[in-house]
């Protein structure tokens, strides 16, 4: 797939929108204000505190409150997508999250719900140009995206091989609009049980931002590989940090 042609198209569309003094049209997903408010309210104040015995969040000060951001979390359970807005969303950063999700998760009633909370579908095996274009449009608009770099749920304690797509998207967006300032935030989930049940504990470790522009050396394939390698290393370091904290019995809860 030719990434350069995709981003040339997006850049041109953005420039036309600026000249016309209009915003880019989001046809694939949207944030429903009332549904988003209700979901944050119920999840943050009732569902999560009742379901989990302990929610430990470390590193919220690393979350940018403006500019294009990709949250890159490990994926341990379906609860990740409920906990992530709680730990990083509007009550912490003042921002709603835009999730890249598999096509099957955007079907039926669940799909209606997901799309109105900012989720948009992707065919994981053969992502379409439309999806990639939409992803870049969101970055150009300075939104906060969620892309799981491992590409699936892994219930063990390891960080698995990362897919190259997240780095290529971020790098291509940055190169298509120099100075855009895309940042990637590594996030590591750890649960007390592989299949979190009622009363389980969860730890969410948020790492320092990785500036995509620091990797822009002129060869997108090699630059993206370097970025992917450093993201994997950052996730592994967060994993080690959790192990050290757990062994010392240290617990810190923060969601203010």
Question: Which DSSP helix (H) or strand (E) runs through 185?
Answer: strand 183-191
Neighbour-count burial for 3-28, b at 16+ CB within 10 Å, e otherwise: beebbeebeebbeebeeeeeebebeb
Residue 202 β-bridge partners: 55, 191
Which of 243, 245, 210 minimizes the C-alpha distance to 226?
A: 210
Alpha-carbon distance 83 to 47, whole Å? 10
Q: What is the pLDDT of residue 113?
A: 75
Q: What is the pLDDT of residue 6?
A: 43
Q: Mean pLDDT per segment of 10 residues, for the chain of length 256 residues?
A: 43 43 46 86 93 96 97 95 94 92 71 79 72 87 94 90 92 90 97 94 96 90 94 94 58 42
CB 210 within 8 A of CB 230: yes
Predicted TM-score (pTM) of this structure: 0.83
Q: What is the pLDDT of residue 255?
A: 42
Longest dimension (CA), the chain: 58
Q: What is the pLDDT of residue 84?
A: 95
Q: What is the pLDDT of residue 89?
A: 94
Q: What is the pLDDT of residue 253?
A: 42
Question: Which positions ≥6 away from 201 have C-beta within 8 Å?
Answer: 52, 53, 54, 55, 56, 191, 192
Alpha-carbon distance 133 to 6, whole Å? 6
- Please compute Rg for the chain using Cα positions: 18
CB 158 within 8 A of CB 82: no
Please check whether the domain covering 3-247 is classified as CATH 3.50.50.60: no
């Amino acid at each position: 797939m030719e990434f350069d042609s995709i981003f040339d198209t997006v850049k041109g569309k953005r420039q036309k929108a600026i000249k016309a003094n209009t915003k880019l049209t989001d046809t694939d997903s949207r944030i429903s204000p009332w549904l988003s408010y209700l979901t944050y309210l119920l999840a943050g104040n009732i569902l999560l505190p009742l379901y989990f015995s302990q929610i430990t969040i470390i590193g919220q000060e690393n979350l940018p409150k403006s500019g294009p951001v990709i949250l890159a979390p490990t994926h341990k359970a379906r609860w990740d997508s409920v906990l992530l807005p709680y730990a990083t969303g509007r009550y912490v950063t003042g921002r709603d999250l835009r999730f890249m999700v598999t096509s099957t998760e955007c079907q039926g009633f669940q799909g209606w719900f997901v799309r109105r909370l900012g989720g948009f579908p992707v065919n994981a095996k053969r992502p379409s140009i439309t999806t990639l274009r939409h992803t870049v449009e969101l970055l150009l608009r300075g939104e906060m995206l969620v892309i799981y770099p491992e590409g699936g749920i892994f219930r063990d304690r390891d960080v698995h091989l990362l897919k190259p797509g997240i780095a290529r998207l971020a790098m291509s967006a940055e190169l298509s609009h120099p100075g855009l300032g895309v940042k990637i935030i590594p996030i590591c989930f750890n649960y007390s049980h592989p299949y979190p049940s009622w009363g389980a504990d969860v730890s969410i470790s948020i790492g320092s931002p990785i500036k995509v522009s620091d990797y822009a050396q002129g060869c997108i394939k090699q630059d993206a590989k370097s970025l992917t390698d450093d993201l994997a290393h950052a996730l592994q370091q967060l994993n080690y940090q959790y192990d050290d904290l757990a062994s010392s019995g240290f617990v810190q809860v923060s969601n203010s």
